[in-house]
Structure 1
Amino acid sequence: MNKLVFASVFPNYISRMILLIIIGIITLHFTPKTMAQSAKEILYIGTYSQNDSKGIYVLDFDRTNLSATILQTVHDKQNPTFLALHPSGRYLYAAYREGNNPEDPNGTIVSYSIDQNSGHLSLINQASSAGASPCHISVDPTGQVVFVSHYQGGNLSTFKVADSGAISEPVSVIQHEGSSVHPNQTKPHMHSMIPSSDGKWVYASDLGIDQILKYEVNLKNASVQKDPEIFPVKAGSGPRHFVIHPELPYAYSVEELSNTVGIYTVDPKNGDLLLLDRIEMLSPEIQTDYNAAADIHLSVDGKWLYASNRGQDNLAIYQVDQETGLLKIQGHVPTGGQHPRNFKMDKKGELLLVANMESDNIVIFRIQDQTGIPLPTGKSISIPRAVFIEQLFLK
């Protein structure tokens, strides 16, 4: 009797133990990935208010199918072309080119709170940008300062961020002066402000006067000092956007008018720049009458650098030497549309999304691990006059 009971129970016990072990292995190996895939992924798209664009698009992005669903559109003013996420992921800042009224030459900066479940935006407050045609907005890594660049105004402005995410009235407003040799350089054209990783400095690229200016940042009152260190670039090059390597003491400037990339060392003590080299962006195999470099980004691991060109409508891909910071061209990839104004490097390092403004589409690429080359997925998202892409993962 006891033998029969033992014989019937023991196999069930062994089966249960094996099942529990299998479940444990599956949980150990696959739960983090599954959780990462199930996290809600939101894309915020800035646009020009043309071609029936509805302003800022809030998209629910499906990473598995590489598709997107529109959750919300926000159109408080005309032309919300550039966006910036707060480091906390709780606030979004938008640079609208429209001012307080049609006669106001300045733009407007609008702060939004982000619903942490849906990704929806709700208005917090707004302030004058204190300059004409704001074309770039960024937030310092500590989340205390918003920086704004004005293309037509040729000036920069800063704003204090409150605990609620609201922005103050402009704190610093600094007007640049001068010109350079290109027909598009008859006056200053501020194009971007990129803060250092510690928030001590911000690098202002002025296309109109061929200068990168390093401003010291006062995080407490959200101001910048009025006597920056000035780093001139080659006349007629037109520095537009700037990116700092996440680990190495190097930085890269995309130069719109000369279609080149400037390579700099960054002094870790004082943030000063020293030009190492400049490298061509254009493919010799494509002939176009018009070319204008636009955006520049590093891969998440810092091994690859990408820069977009309007005209050839492609991405230049470079390998970053991890010792010298110098670049080696890997090739050019068509962006799958016209006028790639900006593009987004996926925070997971898997995808690259390009906003092709004149073809009203965002084209999705998958990045090869070994070569850094973005491969077309055949997937795209239709958004009228798409200019800028921001990405947020909700927990």
Structure 2
Amino acid sequence: MHLKKARYPRYARYVFLAGFLLLASASFAKTMVYVSNADSRDIYVMELQPDGSATMVEQVATGGTVMPLAVSPDHHVLYASLRSLPYSVSSFAINRQSGKLDLLSTVPLADNMANLSTDKSGKFLLAASYTGNKISINRIGKDGAVEAPAQTVIATREKAHAIATDPANTHLFASNLGGDIILQYKFDAHSGQVTPNDPPYVETRSGAGPRHFVFDRHARFVYCTNELDGTLNTYAYDAAAGTLKLLSTVSLLPKGFKGDALAPADLHLTPDGRFLYASERTSSTLSGFAVDPDSGALTLVGSFPTETQPRGFNIDPSGRYLLAVGQKSNHMSSYAIDQKSGELHLLHQYEMGKNPNWVEIIDLQ
């Protein structure tokens, strides 16, 4: 395990003050970072320090091509999708003091799953298959381990890519990148059963390719990256009906970029909902937007160079730091998020395993 770090003294004062304030808080929780490395078949476990640096805790072998990760709502279990045969999911107990991982089980999934999440109760694992054109729902046992086989498997249009329930846990959504739709279901949180909503989906622009989506914290808006046309959609969310309505579309094309077609991937909101960031893999940039709290409208903050082919990134629970990994650089960069402007300032860079692609960051509970 090697974590080579590059320091950037220009922002040392900012980082020191931020770290001092966090350390002074009696309620400061240990913050853990989990990075899946597909080709080295392992998960890096790190602790995020108050200054935005990361220290290695352990390297966990997975025995398969590990890609998407998900964390239980209580932060007690980490789930890892293994996208090499046999397609499966590993459940790891998270040590509440150290953040280390202890394997609970590895069980089959219905297909090669490109995305995982749990429902808001933590009783069901939701998965979407890009290559298998389906979504699935598995029960989660009392010990936090996923149970097999799946209780529900649903065929979708081509290339299902992301799946999640809304904040109220009453509706479920799944993007279909090849079908240019986001599926809309009613979700029974007791049984885990889903039924098509009315309407059963919302369409994107033809050829857009909806990929990842995220709800704002008040469940009024949903944001979704479109992989094939290089854009990001904003939807109004009717929480009672469980339906989406397109409000606007913005481009993720960096100013002056003249390379190949864009390929947006991940997106995350800061915990306070003030800023939204999206990764773009062709230009290897992170686009930042200020979010209007009333309309949900996005105003570009800037496009920031990052690791080569940034498939995955995440924001820490304090909203102070963003960590991004590059599939082709095999590195991770940490950034300070300017709390006034939303601009990103590079702090540190670390060596990762081969093909790092997913980042989860949690406070231990």
The size of the alignment, in residue pairs, is 344
Counting only pairs closer than 5 Å after superposition, residues 133-172 of structure 1 correspond to structure 2 as 133-169=112-148, 170-172=150-152
Q: Does 1:85 pair with 2:91?
A: no
| Structure 2 residues not aligned, in runs of 5+ | 1-19
Any idea what the Cα deviations from partners look like across 1:65-104, whole Å, max 9, x if unmatched?
Answer: 61321423122x321101111011111111111233xxxx
Determine the structure 1 residue equivalent to 2:81: 95
Q: Give the whole-Å Cα distance in 2 for the aligned partners of 1:30 and 1:245.
A: 27
Aligned sequence identity (%): 27
Distance 1:150 1:391, change over 3 A: same
Determine the structure 1 residue equivalent to 2:331: 361
Q: Which has the larger radius of gyration?
A: 1
Q: Give the whole-Å Cα distance in 2 for the aligned partners of 1:122 and 1:109.
A: 14
Whether the aligned pair in 2 keeps the contact of 1:253 and 1:261 (CA below 8 Å) is yes
* SS of equivalent residue, structure 1 residue 146: strand
Determine the structure 1 residue equivalent to 2:10: none
**More divergent stretch after superposition (358-367 vs 167-176):** 167-176
Q: Does 1:250 pair with 2:221?
A: yes
Q: Give the whole-Å Cα distance in 2 for the aligned partners of 1:168 and 1:253.
A: 30
* SS of equivalent residue, structure 2 residue 248: strand
Whether the aligned pair in 2 keeps the contact of 1:110 and 1:127 (CA below 8 Å) is yes
Determine the structure 1 residue equivalent to 2:16: none
Whether the aligned pair in 2 keeps the contact of 1:60 and 1:71 (CA below 8 Å) is no
TM-score, length-normalised on structure 1? 0.83
Counting only pairs closer than 5 Å after superposition, residues 1-395 of structure 1 correspond to structure 2 as 33-37=24-28, 39-49=29-39, 53-64=40-51, 66-75=53-62, 77-100=63-86, 107-131=87-111, 133-169=112-148, 170-177=150-157, 188-225=158-195, 229-247=200-218, 249-335=220-306, 337-394=307-364
Distance 1:70 1:290, change over 3 A: farther
1:221: Cα distance to partner?
A: 2.2
Larger relative contact order, structure 1 or 2 (CA cutoff 8 Å, min sep 6): 2
Whether the aligned pair in 2 keeps the contact of 1:174 and 1:226 (CA below 8 Å) is no
Q: Give the whole-Å Cα distance in 2 for the aligned partners of 1:31 and 1:95.
A: 33
**More divergent stretch after superposition (190-199 vs 372-381):** 372-381
1:266: Cα distance to partner?
A: 0.4
Counterpart of 2:68, as a letter, is F
* SS of equivalent residue, structure 2 residue 205: coil
* SS of equivalent residue, structure 2 residue 24: helix
Counterpart of 1:346, as a letter, is D
* SS of equivalent residue, structure 1 residue 73: strand
Q: Give the whole-Å Cα distance in 1 for the aligned partners of 2:180 and 2:32.
A: 36
1:34: Cα distance to partner?
A: 4.2
| Structure 1 residues not aligned, in runs of 5+ | 1-28, 101-106, 178-187
Whether the aligned pair in 1 keeps the contact of 2:321 and 2:334 (CA below 8 Å) is yes
1:126: Cα distance to partner?
A: 2.7
